Amino acid sequence: MPGPLTLGQIVARLGGRVAGDAETLVRQVASLEGATAEHISFFTGSRYRAKLAATRAGAIVLGTEAEAETQLPRIVAENPYAYFARVSQLFNPVVAQAVGVHPSAVVAKGAKLGARVSIGALCVVGEGASIGDDSCLYPQVVVYPGCSIGARVIVHSGAVIGADGFGIADDDGRWVKIPQIGAVRVGDDVEIGANTTIDRGAIDDTVIEEGVKLDNQIQVGHNVRIRAHTAIAGCAGIAGSADIGRHCTIGGAAVILGHLKIVDHVNISAGTLISRSILKPGTYTGVYPFDEHESWTRSAAELRRKGKKNG
């Protein structure tokens, strides 16, 4: 673990401004509740004011508008949460696997591996696949033939890149498989969570652009395009040919139906079903709050009655 740093040293590396003693020494990050004098924590809003007042942290990261909330030594930053993330990286650098191919991995002769690539235990990289410089595949990742992964990509255990999309045609009551002849193209600086699956395209490629962050257990259907710097939380499901814009966020267990377009800077709340295209930036929520069952059914019935009355 890296050695301790003063607040002044942290600001010299990351920017921001020290209020209070710049020589305050911290060794690690912690939550407001769990911090002690050797820790630096963060404060992002008034609902955490009581925790800030009670904290034993040695220092705090906070925004300009909150500078007077505490007299503890503090770093003032425009985006305290993002700043805290960078402070945490200083004390907890990402530990990657050793560079190279694990003896138990299977890499096709025709696959292309960039410089300093790490391929973990029991991974499979198919014929014609390519992995960019400094990328890391954790154990049991499968990259199907012909798929490409950019530079500095992290793929966590159990992820499958390039399995067939769900393409079937009804032929007089029998399902006929449609060959999935596209591939998957993953851009630079993408992170793909454990057990996430990204299907290959039916004809054209499925595309994950640069900087996209995918959580665990996400399903991305064939011919989907997720544009740059979008972040998607766990258990979301994206049906085929959906086109998701740049800098979007999609909450956990959200469902996006196929062939829809979502413009840039859209935020979709957890558990929301998106059944039509979103053509205006903003936040969209479709979650019906839970309740005791009898109360919920009464509320649902009342909504139906109001809907019929207004209709």
The answer as to whether 161 is a domain residue is yes
Largest CA distance in the chain: 77
Backbone angles phi, psi at 173, to 5 degrees: 90, 0
Residues 153 and 83 in one domain: no
pLDDT of 290: 84
Low-confidence ranges of the chain (pLDDT < 70): 1, 310-311
Residues 204 and 276 in one domain: yes
Residues 82 and 130 in one domain: no
The answer as to whether 304 is a domain residue is no
Total domains in the chain come to: 2
Domain boundary among 39, 63, 91: 91
Which pair of tokens denotes residue 223?
A: 């011919």
Q: Is there a catalytic annotation at residue 259?
A: no
pLDDT of 46: 87
Residues 143 and 32 in one domain: no
| CATH number of residue 35's parent domain | 3.40.1390.10
Residues 17 and 117 in one domain: no
Which pair of tokens denotes residue 306?
A: 């109001």
The answer as to whether 290 is a domain residue is no
Domain boundary among 49, 67, 91: 91
Residues 46 and 107 in one domain: no
Residues 107 and 83 in one domain: no
Mean pLDDT of the chain: 96
Residues 136 and 256 in one domain: yes
The residue count of the chain comes to 311
Catalytic residue among 102, 222, 229, 259: 222
Residues 83 and 131 in one domain: no
CB neighbours of residue 76 within 10 Å? 20
| Structural domain span for residue 140 | 100-284
- Counting Cα atoms < 13 Å in the Cβ hemisphere of 49 gives 6
Whole-angstrom distance between the N-terminal and C-terminal Cα of the chain? 64
Cα–Cα dist 288/296, whole Å: 9
| CATH number of residue 179's parent domain | 2.160.10.10
Cα–Cα dist 47/205, whole Å: 45
Residues 49 and 114 in one domain: no
CB neighbours of residue 254 within 10 Å? 25
Residues 68 and 104 in one domain: no
In order of 124, 182, 302, the CA distances from 66 in angstroms are 50, 51, 44
Q: What pTM does this model have?
A: 0.89
